[in-house]
């Protein structure tokens, strides 16, 4: 067998990705995460952040960290099951569970890790995972890492989901985003949960983009639909979006959490998050629960942007959340618009394949409660210029 150097194998693929306008580059932030910030040395208004409530630079979270720097170590030092499980981890888990009305919660360093842990741990050979076609990559990867069979149903197609459920001959887990990260629409949990219960299937909801923003006290997509998770529901949430800090959690029954603690390799074999970040998460949770004014302001900002886009004839995907995608089609067009907006002082990311399907490249505008009406109006004027 002929061996290849790394250069020989991957240089052509990198060159092709550049030629197809699909090459990814990391912008460099020079300031705190907030609407007005410096990216790549340019002063811009940021419309690409998932900091939906504007808590990432909140003075109360920063003050909490400053006041506890002497009392807490920066690093946890070990995995949760060794010596890394600090009191603040434990309290944050309890407070999240109480907030969501479930028995327990379990912290993870990232949502990606949490999704891998759930799917590869719970699903066994002979089981079936049914996932929405537009689910986040971490749900797909978690399913592929399990020993179960994976089938994808058309986006939010309840007839197709019901058909697959009725045909199943083994244990089924339905996996779906609560709010879809690239389209901004919601999974119809009011229809999915009854299907799961009727067929005795398990339901796994990644509510990374719903928690903090939707429902009473920001409890997310289940609360938005007036639903309560049952004992066969698994809920994943992240702390790095509406909460403004970092980390993630899985919430559900005591049996679920103990199963993950005992058997989930992504939990067992990794260092726990910083105790300082767990403390920051506790402060963020208090702010999220009391943030009705911010959620109301966010809704006003969403409506202002949607109405403005309608007036200038932009092709928005149907979304009522903070994620407002402008569908442009070709990757080159999305890059061109994104660059023109940067020149005008606005940071709006172009989303291209393979993150989204071919010919559905878009600008993904994300709104925050801390964007001003003037900033949104200025963005709309810049978008109108892109059409000319």
How many other β-carbons are positioned within 10 Å of the β-carbon of residue 140? 19
CA dist., res. 161 & res. 172, Å (int)? 11
Helix or strand holding residue 55 (H, E): none
Query: Alpha-carbon torsion 19, 23, 29, 35, what sign?
Result: positive
Question: Measured between alpha carbons, how far is 298 from 293 in angstroms, rounded to an integer?
Answer: 9
The catalytically annotated residue of 138, 241, 246, 274 is 241
Catalytic residue among 138, 181, 246, 319: 181
Question: Which of 89, 209, 219, 371 does the annotation list as catalytic?
Answer: 209
Confirm whether 209 is a catalytic residue. yes
Token pair for residue 42? 């340019």
Distance CA 364, CA 87 (A): 39
3-class SS shares of the chain: helix, strand, coil, % to 5: 45, 20, 40
Name the one residue in this structure whose structure tokens are 């920063």. Answer: 62
Query: Strands 202-206 and 172-177: what pairing?
Result: parallel
Q: Which residue has the tokens 């959490």?
A: 257
State both tokens at 7. 């250069």
| Residues acting as catalytic residues | 181, 209, 241
């Amino acid at each position: 067998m002929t061996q290849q150097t790394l250069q020989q194998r991957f240089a052509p693929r990198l060159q092709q990705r550049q030629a197809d306008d699909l090459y990814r580059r990391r912008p460099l932030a020079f300031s705190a995460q907030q609407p007005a910030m410096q990216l790549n040395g340019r002063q811009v208004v940021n419309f690409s952040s998932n900091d939906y409530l504007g808590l990432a630079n909140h003075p109360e979270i920063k003050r909490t960290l400053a006041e506890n720097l002497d009392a807490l170590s920066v690093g946890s030092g070990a995995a949760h099951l060794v010596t890394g499980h600090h009191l603040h981890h434990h309290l944050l888990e309890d407070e999240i569970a109480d907030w969501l009305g479930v028995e327990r919660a379990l912290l993870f360093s990232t949502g990606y890790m949490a999704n891998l842990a759930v799917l590869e741990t719970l699903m066994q050979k002979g089981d079936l995972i049914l996932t929405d076609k537009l689910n986040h990559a971490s749900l797909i990867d978690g399913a592929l890492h399990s020993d179960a069979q994976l089938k994808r149903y058309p986006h939010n197609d309840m007839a197709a989901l019901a058909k697959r459920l009725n045909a199943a001959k083994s244990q089924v887990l339905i996996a779906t985003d609560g709010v879809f990260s690239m389209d901004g629409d919601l999974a119809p949990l009011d229809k999915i949960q009854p299907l799961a219960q009727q067929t005795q299937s398990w339901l796994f909801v990644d509510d990374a983009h719903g928690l903090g923003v939707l429902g009473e006290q920001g409890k997310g997509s289940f609360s938005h639909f007036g639903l309560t998770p049952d004992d066969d529901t698994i809920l994943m949430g992240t702390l790095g979006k509406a909460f403004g800090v970092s980390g993630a959690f899985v919430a559900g029954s005591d049996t679920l959490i103990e199963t993950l603690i005992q058997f989930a390799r992504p939990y067992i074999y990794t260092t726990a998050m910083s105790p300082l970040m767990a403390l920051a998460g506790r402060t963020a949770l208090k702010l999220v629960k009391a943030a009705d004014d911010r959620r109301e302001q966010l809704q006003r900002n969403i409506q202002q942007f949607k109405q403005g886009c309608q007036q200038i004839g932009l092709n928005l995907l149907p979304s009522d959340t903070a994620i407002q995608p402008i569908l442009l089609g070709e990757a080159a067009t999305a890059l061109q618009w994104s660059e023109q907006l940067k020149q005008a002082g606005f940071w709006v990311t172009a989303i291209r394949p393979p993150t989204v399907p071919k010919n559905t490249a878009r600008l993904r505008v994300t709104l925050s409660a801390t964007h001003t009406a003037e900033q949104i109006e200025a963005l709309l004027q810049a978008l109108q210029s892109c059409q000319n």
